[in-house]
Amino acid sequence: MVEVLISLLKITVIVFVFVMGVASAMTLLGDRKQSAKIQNRVGPNQAKFFGFSLFGFPHFIADGIKMVLKENIVPANANKFLHTIAPALVFMPALIGWSVMPFMDHFCTGTVQTLPDQNYTEICTGPGAEWKNYFSIMHMNSGVLFAFAIAAISVYGAAIAGWASNSKFSLLGGLRSSAQMISYEVSMGLSLAGVLMIYGTLNINEMIRMQGNLLGDWLPMWGIVIQPVAFFLFLLAGLAETKRAPFDLPEGESEIVAGYITEYSSMKFAMMQLAEYAATVFIAALVAVVFLGGWQFPYVYADGIRIFGGHWVPFGEEVWYWISIFLRIGAMVFKILFLVWLQFMMRWTLPRFRYDQVMTLGWKILLPLSIANLFVTALVLVIIW
């Protein structure tokens, strides 16, 4: 019973508070305020609460109210059932993937010991001590595979939305999105394969624990350090996966109106949009856990600060454990927010590709590069190990 309650609490906090909060705040802060700052504009600030514009935040609520109150239109001759469930099919995968995202290491009921001579592994010792999974919804041994499988499913939603709308623009958008997502899925998976070979595990939490290792006692062994090429490939493919500019061809306004969301109105449209933002946050989390050390805060370990072989325990063992928990959750959240911010910066920095350029980049540049990266990684591993 207690476990069920804890699970419900974790789902609420992670999915509904964090992910939905960030995703919906991005509709305002990322797309309007951030773009305004980049382009030397002020951005929306005229909707007010009792005379306070609050950085334009009331616009976000006004948008929500507007979306809910709009008429819900299903085009004539559209497949009503598929047209209705398509937004959910796009939206659900962006949220399900979070079930394997750890925001912190497992909680240790005893005392944690870090072993600097064994790659800075943290072990939980003490009478009856065990790891308790309090900081991710589900502890899964094949977490990375699960996350990728779920992320890949969202292409069905876009394709179905495109087909079911009975509109040529929607159909083109659906086709484009499925082609684009499948192309980039390949190089995304291949660039990840090199990392998986090094870590030798599919468990996301284990991967993050391994990234706590310090190379030469000072350089955190994050994924970006051991696989820099894969990091860029993965980030680029991830950008393309979220179907946002500069890869927003599936909904390119100048060519096909709004692509597969052309015929959507009201809250269904809002769900499509939110799904896009949620996918952005999810890709940010994936990059953070695989390449940027997830919840690892550099030099902060559960039993103190360690750098250059030194070891300090500020405020005593007990207190420090709690401080380290908050530092690590903060690090994870900060990394996700930073990557989301970076993706939005990309959107307002780069002009968008032509569709054939997207395909060329995907198949002729990213795919060979990721295969080469995989090959070199394998070679190095064989020689060193």
Q: Rank residues 83 and 347 by Cβ distance to other proteins and give the closer one.
A: 347
DSSP of 248-270:
-GGG-HHHHTTGGGTT--HHHHH
Interacting positions 280-339 with other proteins (CB under 8 A) = none
Q: Rank residues 228 and 310 by Cβ distance to other proteins and give the closer one.
A: 228
Is the four-CA dihedral 254, 260, 263, 265 of positive or negative sign? Answer: negative
The 345-384 site mask, x for binding other proteins (CB under 8 A), equals xx-xxx----------------------------------
Applying CB under 8 A, among 16, 21, 41, 130 the residue interacting with other proteins is 41
Applying CB under 8 A, among 131, 134, 156, 232 the residue interacting with other proteins is 232
Q: Rank residues 40 and 77 by Cβ distance to other proteins and give the closer one.
A: 40
Binding residues for other proteins, how many (CB under 8 A)? 14
DSSP of 314-355:
TT-HHHHHHHHHHHHHHHHHHHHHHHHHHHHHHHHHSPPPPH
> Quick check: 39 binds other proteins (CB under 8 A)?
yes
As a whole number of angstroms, the distance between CA 19 and CA 21 comes to 5
Stretch that binds other proteins, among 34-42, 106-114, 175-183, 266-274 (CB under 8 A): 34-42
H or E element that contains 184? helix 168-199
As a whole number of angstroms, the distance between CA 215 and CA 213 comes to 6
As a whole number of angstroms, the distance between CA 274 and CA 268 comes to 10
Q: Rank residues 34 and 154 by Cβ distance to other proteins and give the closer one.
A: 34
Q: Rank residues 348 and 355 by Cβ distance to other proteins and give the closer one.
A: 348
Interacting positions 244-273 with other proteins (CB under 8 A) = none
DSSP, res 363: I
The verdict on whether omega for the bond into residue 127 sits within 30 degrees of 0, i.e. cis, is: no
Applying CB under 8 A, among 38, 68, 88, 372 the residue interacting with other proteins is 38
Q: Rank residues 134 and 363 by Cβ distance to other proteins and give the closer one.
A: 363
Stretch that binds other proteins, among 22-30, 39-47, 57-65, 82-90 (CB under 8 A): 39-47
Burial track 17-45 (b if 16+ CB lie within 10 A, e otherwise): ebbbebbbbbbbbbbbbbbbeeeeeebbb
By CB under 8 A, name the binding residues for other proteins.
34, 37-42, 45, 232, 345-346, 348-350
